[in-house]
Amino acid sequence: MEPPICALCGVRFDPGAATVRFSDYRPLPDGMVGHPHGLVWFCGAHLEAAEAVAHLPAEEALTTLRSNPPRNPR
């Protein structure tokens, strides 16, 4: 598992950080250690925007989010 670093803004260990599963999410095989494909960390400020595009593959979603940055609610 990767450390909780927001894929959009790079904030580390935000208390509201959580992972989003994108459409290309693939769970790790049993017993395998690592970070699953399509599972991406976002800080609390970007989580909602990320979940709104979770129907896309991770790379496409990140491109969309970066070209159309969500407003920071804080």
Write down the least CB distance from residue 2 to Zn ion, Å: 14
Shortest distance in whole angstroms from residue 31 CB to Zn ion: 32
Q: Measure the CA–CA gap between 42 and 5, rounded to whole angstroms.
A: 7
Query: Which residue type does 60 have?
Result: E
**Which residues does residue 18 pair with via DSSP β-bridges, in sequence order?**
42
Whichever of 32 and 58 has its CB closer to Zn ion, that residue is 58
Shorter beta-carbon distance to Zn ion: residue 2 or 28: 2
Interface residues with Zn ion (CB under 5 A) are 6, 8-9, 11, 43, 46
C-alpha 38: how far from chain center: 8
Q: How far is the CB of 30 from Zn ion (least distance, A)?
A: 32
CB 47 within 8 A of CB 20: yes
